[in-house]
């Protein structure tokens, strides 16, 4: 899995925790960006996705809003 994976999260988000657990179980390395700690990261999230809510995952240039397992699996080649 050569694509760079970035996951925008916040500590209170249960779907974020599920998404991170899923990626770890699938041995997908990812960079986590906690938007609650840095307002500039929240602005970055909005610029890239048009969303204010989390989780949002970037796989290369692809934006995945929420925990869309089917789309994540497809983009990362998880079966």
From first to last of its 79 residues, the chain has per-residue pLDDT tens of 445 999 999 999 999 999 999 999 999 999 999 999 999 999 999 999 998 899 999 999 999 999 999 999 999 998 7
Nearest residue to 61 via CA among 43, 47, 48: 48
**What kind of architecture, by CATH, is found in domain 5-76?**
3-Layer(aba) Sandwich (3.40)
Residues 6+ apart with CB under 8 A from 72: 19, 22, 23, 57, 59, 64, 78
pLDDT of residue 47: 93
pLDDT of residue 78: 87
pTM above 0.85, yes or no: yes
Q: Where are the beta strands (DSSP E) in 1-79?
A: 5-9, 31-34, 56-59, 62-65
């Amino acid at each position: 899995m050569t694509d760079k994976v970035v996951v925008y999260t916040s500590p209170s988000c249960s779907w974020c925790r599920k998404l991170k657990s899923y990626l770890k179980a699938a041995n997908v390395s990812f960079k986590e960006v906690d938007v609650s700690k840095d307002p500039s990261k929240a602005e970055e999230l909005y610029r890239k996705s048009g969303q204010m809510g989390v989780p949002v995952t970037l796989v290369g240039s692809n934006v995945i809003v929420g925990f869309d397992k089917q789309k994540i699996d497809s983009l990362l080649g998880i079966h």
